[in-house]
Amino acid sequence: MTATVPFTPAVGDRAPSSSPLRLTLARAGAPPALIDGAWWPRSRNLTEELPALVECLDPLWGRITRIAVSRTLWPVIPGEVPAHGHMVRVGWSNAGQDPHKLLLLSHTFGRWDLLVIPPETAPATAARLMATATDPLRSLPASGLIREAERFRAAAEAAAYSDSLREAVWDSEGGHDAPTPASRTPDGPVTRHVPTAAAGV
């Protein structure tokens, strides 16, 4: 079982944002795995996206102090971000870190790893990734989950195209356009009208 966090972050002194955080976490006590959950940010702007994530995770995982990301997915990486009343340092690496993984460090619980689902991902694929990232039997790294979801999406599109092609062929061969006989008996067979000879002939 997974825990999806229904969290709507507040921004400064303003009312909570109308866009809730898209985050799912493995259930407490789940077997150790390479990924502890999945995060689907709404943009590639870490300065805007990270504070809400930390605000949600601080009460669950203890105070988050450092975050490490890969430069592959993020065009601009701030040195630190304000979050939940404290500053969180943000680091990056060109190599050695899975580009689809976000690493969080907490004084209380240690290290946590989240799958980062690219913001532009289609909702159906993102939902599949969130479920897979928190499956008790999960064993793939973050990029492995992304590749698996892409293969699943491609296979589904190919199957849909094949079904569409078969239907088009069926239609072109008259599958849906066969003429309907004008008259049928209640039991269904075609009724033919045979002319009768004139009386006295």
pLDDT in tens, 37-69: 999 999 999 999 999 999 999 998 889 999 999
- Asked if the model's pLDDT at residue 12 lies above 50, the reply is no
For residue 56, give the amino acid letter.
C
C-alpha to C-alpha distances, 90 to 9, 29, 45, 82, nearest whole angstrom:
20, 28, 13, 11
Q: Tell me the pLDDT band of 83, cut-offs 50, 70 and 90.
A: confident
pLDDT in tens, 19-29: 789 999 988 77
For residue 145, give the amino acid letter.
L
Q: Is the pTM of this model over 0.75?
A: no
Determine the pLDDT at residue 10: 45
Contact (CB, 8 A) for 88 and 50: yes
Contact (CB, 8 A) for 46 and 76: yes
The values of phi and psi at residue 117, to 5°, are: -90, 125
Residues paired with residue 55 on neighbouring β-strands, in sequence order: none
